Amino acid sequence: MNQKERIEQLFETGILPRKEMRALIEERDEESSEELFAKARIRKKENFGKDIYLRGLIEFSSYCRNDCFYCGLRRSNTKAQRYHLSKEDILTCARQGYALGFRTIVLQSGEDLSYSDEEIADIVRSIKKEMPETAVTLSIGEKTYEQYLLYYKAGADRYLLRHETADPVHYAKLHPSDLSFENRKRCLYDLKKIGYQVGAGMMVEAPFQTLDNLVEDLFFLKELQPHMIGMGPFIAHKDTPFKDMPSGGSELTIFLLGILRLMFPKVLLPATTALGTIDPYGREKGIMAGANVIMPNLSPKSVRGKYMLYDGKISTGEEAAESIEKIRKRMEAIGCHVKNVRGDAPGMGPENRQ
């Protein structure tokens, strides 16, 4: 098959044989990228029109018990600045987001065990009680089925937990031995079973990642059928074991966003902060390649510089929630429209909750 045929088949059927998928990525060039993105925009338009959904991201704690080799919040990073927000601080951020038009709040943190499960549930419950039209997404790491169920019963709607890499051998090169792909996968299937809208995903150009790894990631996602896919470039952090590893670029990430849109026409696909960090127009390029979600930062300004997953993370400019008008204008400039709605995965709105 040539590139044109591969893209056509992916567009029509949502899948390609592994070998062809690999070749599609490997042989990408300007022409095939444009072709892919044009098809991705067709699928996006069919499912979402011009709409772009916003998620207000509250990074509520920079403490983490884990030691992922790539991440600036890893517990061995003694230089990391640690903070955690109180329930009142979190509610204040959520209210500000609500006033700005956000109808999804994402609560993200390291795996900080100083919050009890009941405290997390209470925070979720309080947001839902005060702002019932708001969807709450959690992104707080690996937990047991019972813990996930407790948060869900408290009102949490969605959960983001990237699978990071679907190859257990590659997984072991990115994480210490107490973390495994097997448990990550167990978490994702538990979350789906409970009824969450689930987000998985991976870093692009992570250390030791091969093209075959990426193809494996795509096929793992096909099997999991997540409602959301978070995917951004790896960016090195100076105080981690991967400090000298090259960071990813925007080009491959954007190409993969196009592939994901054709594989998953209805999926919620953010143009991530990491993409906006390595490329000033990364978000726009991601949207033009099929992404339909943006996640501006709603954390208090005083802590934003402390939630450093990777070097150079943008946190005070136009990606910030208070610059929402600029974000809206930038989206209008590329023919899109930011909508103040929850933006659920199709068929997964509040009326469908179990």
Tell which residue, 263, 246, 247, has the closest CA to residue 255. 263
Residues 150-169 that bind ligand SAH (CB under 6 A): 161-162, 164
Given the complex with ligand SAH, which of 91 and 179 has the nearer CB atom?
Answer: 179
Q: CA 52 to CA 339: how far, in whole Å?
A: 6
Applying CB under 6 A, among 47, 66, 126, 180 the residue interacting with ligand SF4 is 66
Contact between 67 and ligand SAH per CB under 6 A:
no
- 74 makes contact, choosing from ligand SAH, ligand SF4, none, with CB < 5 to 8 Å by partner type, with ligand SF4
CB 67 to ligand SF4: min, Å? 6
Residues 201-230 that bind ligand SAH (CB under 6 A): 203
Given the complex with ligand SAH, which of 48 and 196 has the nearer CB atom?
Answer: 196
Query: Mind spelling out the 3-state secondary structure of the chain?
Result: CCHHHHHHHHHHHCCCCHHHHHHHHHCCCHHHHHHHHHHHHHHHHHHHCCEEEECEEEEEECCCCCCCCCCCCCCCCCCCCCCECCHHHHHHHHHHHHHCCCCEEEEEECCCCCCCHHHHHHHHHHHHHHCCCCEEEEECCCCCHHHHHHHHHCCCCEEECCCECCCHHHHHHHCCCCCCHHHHHHHHHHHHHHCCEEEECEEECCCCCCHHHHHHHHHHHHHHCCCEECCEECCCCCCCCCCCCCCCCHHHHHHHHHHHHHHCCCCECECCHHHHHHCCCHHHHHHHCCCCEECCECCCHHHHCCCCCCCCCCCCCCCEHHHHHHHHHHHHHCCCEEECCCCCCCCCCHHHCC
Contact between 237 and ligand SAH per CB under 6 A:
yes
If one counts every other C-beta atom within 10 angstroms of the C-beta of residue 225, the result is 11
CB 7 to ligand SAH: min, Å? 27
- Count of residues engaged in binding ligand SAH, rule: CB under 6 A: 18
Q: Which stretch binds ligand SAH (CB under 6 A): 28-36, 175-183, 231-239, 315-323?
A: 231-239
Q: CA 251 to CA 275: how far, in whole Å?
A: 10
Residues 108-167 that bind ligand SF4 (CB under 6 A): 110-111, 141
Contact between 174 and ligand SAH per CB under 6 A:
no
Contact between 108 and ligand SAH per CB under 6 A:
yes
Contact between 345 and ligand SF4 per CB under 6 A:
no
Contact between 148 and ligand SAH per CB under 6 A:
no
- 344 makes contact, choosing from ligand SAH, ligand SF4, none, with CB < 5 to 8 Å by partner type, with none
CB 320 to ligand SF4: min, Å? 21
- 108 makes contact, choosing from ligand SF4, ligand SAH, none, with CB < 5 to 8 Å by partner type, with ligand SAH
CB 14 to ligand SAH: min, Å? 25
CB 109 to ligand SF4: min, Å? 7
List interacting residues with ligand SF4 (CB under 6 A). 64, 66, 68, 71, 73-74, 110-111, 141
List interacting residues with ligand SAH (CB under 6 A). 70-71, 108, 110-111, 139, 141, 161-162, 164, 203, 232, 234-235, 237, 274, 309-310
